[in-house]
Structure 1
Amino acid sequence: MIPARKHRWFNAWFAAHARSRIQGTFGAVLARGLEATRARSAEAPLLLVVNHTSWWDPLVILHASQHLLEVDGYAMMAADNLRRLPFFALVGAFGVDLDQPSDGTAAIRYAARLLDRPGRAVWIFPQGQERPSDERPLGFRAGAAQVARVARRAAVVPVALRYELAGEERPRLYMAFGEPVAVPPAPRDRDIEAAREAQELAVTAELDRIHRALGKAAGAQGLPLDVDGFRWVHRASPSGVGQAAERLLAHWTRPRAPLTPRLPGGGRGDRS
């Protein structure tokens, strides 16, 4: 297992870089449940269980930790990726080799130790690799459920991420933070499996919530301020230069009505 080497100043700089990249790429960022999750973080550490769907996910969760939730965030990452991109350790990533059971056990204990106080958060992608956001079942592994069993003080919050082209120049980013996962009672030999199933169902429900909001947005010709609890976190202004260029091109290329030929006597063509 590779421990995190979080560095305060580098974390602040890289999180600002992530926010700049996100706001420069996405036309809008919309979130649901953000305020409730931020308030919950003041009362308990957060284990944030999230689907993995895009290259953008690490930058999004870093931005969410630093600027939206305002928590001391960490994340579990594949050890091979962390060796390839070691700077992520400086923003709270710790590496685990999923093919090594002893490594997984060490990472679970490490994550549980991090979740020792309010204001702390650990993000886990239980799918282990990128998957389409509409794939069902999501295919969660049991690691996050094992962390939840050890870190009893932590609130397990399901999070859904989706990136969507919405008839606009730039894509939109949707984030949905759900209510803490309540694990159903189960025999002791099935408690991990029950927790894993509960976490997967909770994240699936948040992805379905985003899907419904997209349907309402399509019917309303663009998403209003509040649809199913989603609110704007960031909204880019349309490009004035681009809009002016489009209007000018539309004017230049608009079909012109054909001129009526003049007759030799000064009149115009047959008007019958």
Structure 2
Amino acid sequence: MLKAKHHFFIYPMFKCLTKILLKRNFNKCLINGEFEDNGKSVLVISNHVSWWDGFWIMHLNLKLLKRRFHFMMLEEQLNKHWYFQYSGGFSVKKKSRSILETIDYTAELLSSNENMVLLFPQGEIKSVYDRNIKFEKGVERILMKSPSETQILFVVNLIDYFSQKKPTLYMYINTLHKTIRSVDFLEKEYIKFYSEAINKHLANV
């Protein structure tokens, strides 16, 4: 597997590029919800709806989490876009024995309070309107191996244009405080929060 690196130039450039791209392409980026920081590592679980997802979570990290950014990518995509490895990207290769190494590595990252790890538990890009969310089993193994104090942050990203030329990004967040080791429970909690976020969004926009 390919492990994450934080290049002295590429990683800061990625953070700077995030600010520039979001300012240029979005009307506003709004964060709705609270992150109650206990000082421990953060596992971010987000919906995967577009090419923008990584930049959106970097924005959230810069604004609220303030951790060293890590994210899981398919190995073939990380090989193709090699620069992401130097911005915190690490690889997973599905249907391969190396996936166990990726799980151990993710848990190792979460053992440091300075780190955050972004996971897209669906494993692929889905429509933002698709509420039929199914977590892959690897998520449970990561939870089993990571420290019990690791904070789990749910994120639901939604966008709307309305009368604006550029879309507005709405980021709904929720911190879990329970010690979770079951992927089924986590999946149900995320689906519940996803529906709550959409209903709240429709009621307030």
TM-score, structure 1 length as denominator?
0.69
Local SS of the residue matching 2:44: strand
Cα pair distance change 1:167/1:214, threshold 3 Å: farther
Q: 2:26 maps to which residue?
A: 26
How far off is 1:67 after superposition?
4.0
Q: 2:145 maps to which residue?
A: 150
> Is the CA contact (8 Å cut-off) linking 1:2 and 1:94 kept in structure 2?
yes
Q: 1:203 maps to which residue?
A: 190
Paired AA for residue 212 in structure 1: N
Paired AA for residue 204 in structure 1: I
Cα pair distance change 1:115/1:8, threshold 3 Å: farther
> Where does the alignment leave 5 or more consecutive residues of structure 1 unmatched?
185-190, 219-272
Local SS of the residue matching 1:179: strand
How far off is 1:200 after superposition?
2.1
Q: 1:249 maps to which residue?
A: none
What aligned pairs does 1:31-110 form with structure 2 within 5 A after superposition? 31-34=31-34, 36-37=35-36, 39-40=37-38, 43-100=39-96, 102-110=97-105
> Is the CA contact (8 Å cut-off) linking 2:153 and 2:175 kept in structure 1?
yes
Q: Which moved further from structure 2: 80-89 or 9-18? A: 9-18
What aligned pairs does 1:109-258 form with structure 2 within 5 A after superposition? 109-152=104-147, 153-180=149-176, 182=178, 195-218=182-205
How far off is 1:216 after superposition?
2.1
> Is the CA contact (8 Å cut-off) linking 1:50 and 1:159 kept in structure 2?
yes
Distance (Å, rounded) in 1 between the aligned partners of 2:112 and 2:91: 22
Distance (Å, rounded) in 1 between the aligned partners of 2:159 and 2:76: 25
Paired AA for residue 165 in structure 2: E
Paired AA for residue 142 in structure 1: K
How far off is 1:166 after superposition?
2.8
Cα pair distance change 1:170/1:57, threshold 3 Å: same
Local SS of the residue matching 2:9: helix
> Is the CA contact (8 Å cut-off) linking 2:71 and 2:119 kept in structure 1?
yes
Identity value in percent: 22
Could you list the structure 1 runs, at least 4 aligned residues long, displaced by more than 4 angstroms after superposition.
none
RMSD: 1.9
> Is the CA contact (8 Å cut-off) linking 2:156 and 2:173 kept in structure 1?
yes
> Where does the alignment leave 5 or more consecutive residues of structure 2 unmatched?
none
TM-score, structure 2 length as denominator?
0.90
Distance (Å, rounded) in 1 between the aligned partners of 2:184 and 2:132: 10
Q: Which of the pair has more CA radius of gyration? A: 1
How far off is 1:79 after superposition?
0.6
Higher relative contact order structure (alpha carbons within 8 Å, sequence separation ≥ 6): 2
